[in-house]
């Protein structure tokens, strides 16, 4: 089998779900016996301190004999979450007024510095240059 045949097998059918820093790839692939199975890959982007980035990937394989149970359990689990917690996203990161910790710290430092500068200038005598 040449590389073109392998590439055709690799790209039978695919869908992509972009979700923030994560991307999910759903790919139908073929076994050596030319039967199909599903791979789900989670790719998560990480940014290094120097601004460069890298991806971490996790992959699961789901074979036809497990589709029915997998689909049932996935539906049961997602229904359970929606039933118990609703479909509103409640993580801090997704709140409208979410501020990263460093933003809150910088805001607090700024207001502390402003208060400090107000206090330090209060000890000075107010001089009007017209008096000199």
pLDDT, tens digit (0-9, with 9 covering 90-100), for 35-58: 999 999 999 988 888 988 888 999
Say what the pLDDT of residue 107 is: 52
Instruction: Map out the domains of the chain with their CATH numbers.
Output: 3-87 (3.10.450.700)
- Of 10 and 77, more confident: 77
Going by the DSSP 8-state scheme, the letter that residue 26 receives in this structure is: E
Q: What CA–CA distances, in Å, run from 86 to 13, 60, 64, 78?
A: 32, 27, 31, 10
Edge to edge, the sheet with strand 36-47 lists 13-19, 22-30, 36-47, 53-63
Say what the pLDDT of residue 102 is: 52
Residue 67's φ and ψ, nearest 5 degrees, are -55, -50
Instruction: Calculate the average pLDDT of the chain.
Output: 77
Say what the pLDDT of residue 47 is: 86
Say what the pLDDT of residue 8 is: 46
Q: Is the confidence at residue 64, as pLDDT, over 80? A: yes
């Amino acid at each position: 089998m040449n590389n073109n045949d392998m590439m055709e097998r690799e790209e039978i059918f695919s869908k992509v779900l972009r979700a923030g820093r994560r991307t999910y790839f759903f790919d139908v692939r073929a076994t050596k016996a030319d039967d199909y199975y599903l791979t789900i890959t989670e790719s998560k982007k990480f940014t290094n301190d120097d601004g460069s980035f890298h991806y971490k990937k996790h992959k699961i394989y789901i074979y036809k004999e497990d589709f029915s149970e997998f689909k049932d359990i996935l539906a049961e689990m997602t229904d359970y979450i929606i039933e118990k917690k609703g479909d509103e996203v409640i993580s801090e990161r997704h709140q409208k007024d979410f501020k990263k910790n460093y933003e809150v710290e910088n805001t607090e430092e700024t207001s502390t510095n402003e208060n400090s500068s107000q206090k330090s200038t209060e000890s000075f005598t107010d001089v009007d240059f017209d008096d000199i």
